[in-house]
Structure formats: structure tokens, C-alpha cells
């Protein structure tokens, strides 16, 4: 399991989500659980915000 920030419906916040990943290639990663089709996640380095469960997106 990994922790990602999933963009909320309002588009101005993202909340931490636990995601299970499967096979990976150079361009794709298989998501086994924790996200639904159409969910958007933050792929940038978010390590600065490791202590937070929710962030605001501007």
C-alpha cells in the first residue's frame, strides 16, 4: 500500500488515500484498490506535506 493525495470533488482540496498498486511499466501502474475510475491524484512530490491528511490545491 502507498499513500496518495486524491483530488476531492470540489477540485480545491486533496485528501490522503491508501492505494494498493500492482504491475508497473515505464508509463503505467496498475491500481488494485483504493481508487475508482475517474479519480484524480497528485503525482508531484508531496513529501513536504507528509504530516497532513488533507491539503488545499491552488
Range of the domain at 16: 2-56
* Cell numbers representing residue 31 in the block: 491500481
Residue 8 near residue 14 (C-beta atoms within 8 A): yes
- Render pLDDT for 4-48 as a digit per residue (tens, 0 to 9): 999 999 999 999 999 999 999 999 999 999 999 999 999 999 999
At CB < 8 A and 24+ separation, what contacts does 41-47 make?
41/4, 41/5, 41/6, 41/7, 41/14, 41/17, 42/4, 42/5, 42/6, 42/7, 42/14, 46/5
Domains in the chain: how many in total? 1
Helix (H) / strand (E) element for 55: namely strand 54-56
Amino acid at each position: 500500500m502507498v499513500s496518495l493525495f486524491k483530488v476531492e470533488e470540489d477540485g480545491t482540496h486533496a485528501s490522503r488515500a491508501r492505494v494498493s498498486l500492482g504491475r508497473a511499466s515505464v508509463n503505467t501502474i496498475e491500481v488494485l484498490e483504493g481508487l475508482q475510475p475517474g479519480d484524480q491524484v497528485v503525482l508531484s512530490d508531496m513529501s513536504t506535506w507528509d504530516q497532513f491528511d488533507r491539503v488545499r490545491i491552488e
